[in-house]
Amino acid sequence: MSDWLGRAVSRAEQVSDWLSPQRQASLALLREAQWPTRKTEAWKYTPVHVLADAEFAAAANSELAAAEAIEGLNSIELVFTDGVLQSELSQLPEGLTIVPLADASSETRQWAAEAFSAAKPSKHLFGLVNDVLATAGVIIDVAEGVSIEPVIRIVHRIGKDCEAHNRVLVRIAKNASVTVVEDFSGEEKSFNTGYAEYTLAESASLEHYRFALQTGAALSVGGSHFNLADKAQLNSTLVGFGSELSRLDVDVNHTGEHAFAKLNAIYLLDGNELFDLHSTIEHMVPNGTTEENVRGIVADHSRAVFNGRIHIHRDAQKTLAELNNRNLLMSRDAEINTKPELEIYADDVRCAHGATIAEIDKGALYYLRSRGVSKAQAQIMLSFGFINELVDQMPNQVLAEWLRPQLRQRFANMEVK
Amino acid sequence: MLSIKNLQASVEEKEILKGLDLEVKPGEVHAIMGPNGAGKSTMGYVMSGREGYEVNEGSVTLDGVDLLGLEAEERARAGLFLAFQYPVEIPGVSNLEFMKAAVDAQREAKGEEAVSSKDFLKMAREACKQVHLPAEFLKRGVNEGFSGGEKKRNEIMQMLLLKPKLCILDESDSGLDIDALQVVAEGVNSQRSPDRSFIVVTHYQRLLDYIKPDFVHVLSDGKIVKSGDASLALELEEQGYNWLTEQREQSA
């Protein structure tokens, strides 16, 4: 056990609240957990030694500038600084309830306790750490049949040398719909675990964004996890920059039939950055659909890890599942470890998966050049276009307009080597 | 303006052009007709500098500039424009961004200042209007999801913005219904001027009803075997291209 983990466990022993029964179960698992090494399959390409002996201040209260609003976005902003909620929750639209974890009513506690760790796999070490230490966070509840117009934007900021653990539990009732943005940024030395669990009831609809934009020494391990009931609709876009340690786990569980999940993910890495995306799609029942498109550009000495697993259970007949991971390497020193996995136990399914390390399309390059665009500029336009294609698909174009210049800026600083 | 002399070129070591000669003066419209496989598209690709097209002999000069010594983008900046038969789709790169980059690059090469985004948008909208493309096509990925006809019109839209000296239209009529054909032809005709020339490559005479050529050439087996005025196109329409094969067999 690492020093850091040892401290986490002893801190967890002090935590006592209404989630204690759930936390105790995770703590038991955590005590048995092995610190990940190169031999741990799920962490094979993602060393966590930067964390092993690191020390951070817990529950600090950093002085950070106010979170930047997104121009033109109609939003409800939930800003967490070092894991502490800064925003006042007043005047919410009808049918929407948002409460800090600590303030949950007894009724809310009942379903939230059930939802806690229901979508997230229990074996994940940092997920367990989050289970036992995340006293900060919110519960978001969308009532039956309600469509929430404003986007719920959860902004996570962590100050220098701080550590924060945050948990978001979202319940979207039957026929309800909502958009949730999980927004992470920062570059100073820090560590956070941010886990969100979404429970979608029958015919519920979720538009989801996770912007994992930590860079530099901002260490981050987190996940977004979804349980989809009958005919639930999920449209999720993930965007990742890399840092010394940046790991994201995404799990989608088709627990009801005729659910639809669209997952688009983009990563854009430079310098010595590392970004690791693990996704697991569980098709437990028949007639589910998953479309997953993951695209990345890795430059300089950066490293991307993608592990995409689709598991089709024996009963999940008529599943449609597609998984595609495409990468552009901008430098000889950059590295991509990609592993799409299909595990199929049903016989009447349509599945496809693929992973490519792509080069720029020659025909497209010639086309741009034939109009007078220089080869160098055409390469830049096409490389950026490669990820921009997924930005174009974001249902919320205000967010796309906000994101695009950030990606463009980051991309402009990359060098082709 | 354009002078092609004894152009011989091959693709993957297969000889396609076998001594092509063509002189185009400012303001002229030349039609190149011929059967499939004669080398019509190859001519455009070789002239525009597509990779994989090897020139073995001959020269191509545009206003005295040796095109074959230039990179593809430099040829475009020298005033060459090829309207493609099959324009590629480039999702993620918007039509507007693409054309702005192209126009800026060409202006820069001429020592002119870049156009402001606002002015360019106005110009681009105007060009779209002229070829009956909704302005929203500027925001879409280059040719992404466009129908065959929309792609061809998008090529002409680009030509309107780039104002080249010499335009090669590679089967810009293929796959078009009569309305779309007229739109394409009107776009081309609006650009006819004493200092701009066109080479219209086509399999069928139909397009030439709308774009009247000054000269018609028959390309067969990599060279021009017959030249004449617009009436030659009508003749070809009647006779087809079989006589070419017969002629070749006789000479063999």
Instruction: Check residue B87 and report its DSSP letter.
Output: P
Sheet holding B197-202, edge to edge: B80-83, B166-170, B197-202, B29-33, B215-220, B223-228
Q: What is the pLDDT of residue A65?
A: 74
Residue of A nearest to B108 (CA): A372
Tell me the pLDDT tens digit for each residue of B50-63: 999 999 999 999 99
Q: CA angle, corner A195, sides to A139 and A162, nearest 5?
A: 105
- Has residue A38 been placed in a domain? yes
Residue of B nearest to A382 (CA): B93
- Report yes or no: B73 at the A interface, CB cutoff 8 Å: yes
pLDDT > 70 fraction of chain A, expressed in percent and rounded = 98
Q: How many domains does chain A have?
A: 1
Nearest residue to A234 via CA among A212, A264, A213, A211: A264
- Has residue A25 been placed in a domain? yes
- Has residue A264 been placed in a domain? yes
- Has residue A397 been placed in a domain? no
Once rounded to an integer, what is the mean pLDDT over residues B228-238? Answer: 86
SS3 state at A140: strand
Residues in B 192-221 with any Cβ partner in A closer than 8 A: none
Q: What is the pLDDT of residue B37?
A: 86
Instruction: Kindly tell me if the per-residue pLDDT of A62 is higher than 80.
Output: no
Q: How many helices (H) and strands (E) does chain B have?
A: 8, 12
**End-to-end Cα separation, chain A, in angstroms:** 40
CB atoms B141 and A392 under 8 Å: yes
- Has residue A385 been placed in a domain? no
Point out the residue among A370, A374, A389 whose CB comes nearest to the CB of B91: A389
Domain-wise residue ranges, chain B: 2-88+164-251
Q: What is the pLDDT of residue A84?
A: 84
- Has residue A407 been placed in a domain? no
Once rounded to an integer, what is the mean pLDDT over residues B71-97? Answer: 95
Do B55 and B9 touch, CB atoms closer than 8 A?
Answer: yes
What the block records as the tokens of B171 is: 């089967």
Distance CA A290, CA A280 (A): 11
Consecutive H or E run containing A287: none
Residues of B in contact with A266 (CB under 8 A): none
Span of A129-138, B113-122, B176-185 with lowest mean pLDDT: B176-185
Residues of A in contact with B91 (CB under 8 A): 385, 389, 392
Average pLDDT, chain B: 92
Tell me the pLDDT tens digit for each residue of A381-399: 998 999 999 999 999 999 9
Span of A205-214, A227-236, B108-117, B202-211 with lowest mean pLDDT: B202-211
Tell me the pLDDT tens digit for each residue of B31-54: 999 888 899 999 999 999 999 999
User: β-pairing, A177-186 with A162-172?
Assistant: unpaired
Residues of B in contact with A381 (CB under 8 A): 93, 97-98, 101
Residues of B in contact with A375 (CB under 8 A): 71, 73
Closest CA of chain A from B50, distance in Å? 6
Closest CA of chain A from B45, distance in Å? 10
Query: Can you name the residues that pair with A220 across neighbouring β-strands?
Result: A192, A246
Once rounded to an integer, what is the mean pLDDT over residues A12-34? Answer: 91
Once rounded to an integer, what is the mean pLDDT over residues B144-169? Answer: 95
- Report yes or no: A266 at the B interface, CB cutoff 8 Å: no
- Has residue A282 been placed in a domain? yes
Q: Which fold has domain B2-88+164-251?
A: Rossmann fold (3.40.50)
Span of A59-68, A155-164, A234-243, B119-128 with lowest mean pLDDT: A59-68
For residue B70, count other CB atoms closer than 10 A to its CB: 17
CB atoms B90 and A368 under 8 Å: yes
Consecutive H or E run containing A18: none
Q: What is the pLDDT of residue A316?
A: 97
| Domain extent at residue A191 | 3-361
Residue A75 banded pLDDT, cuts 50, 70, 90: very high
DSSP codes, B150-200: HHHHHHHHHHHHH--SEEEEESTTTT--HHHHHHHHHHHHHH-BTTBEEEE
Q: What is the pLDDT of residue A50?
A: 87
Residues of A in contact with B71 (CB under 8 A): 369, 375
Once rounded to an integer, what is the mean pLDDT over residues B7-26? Answer: 94
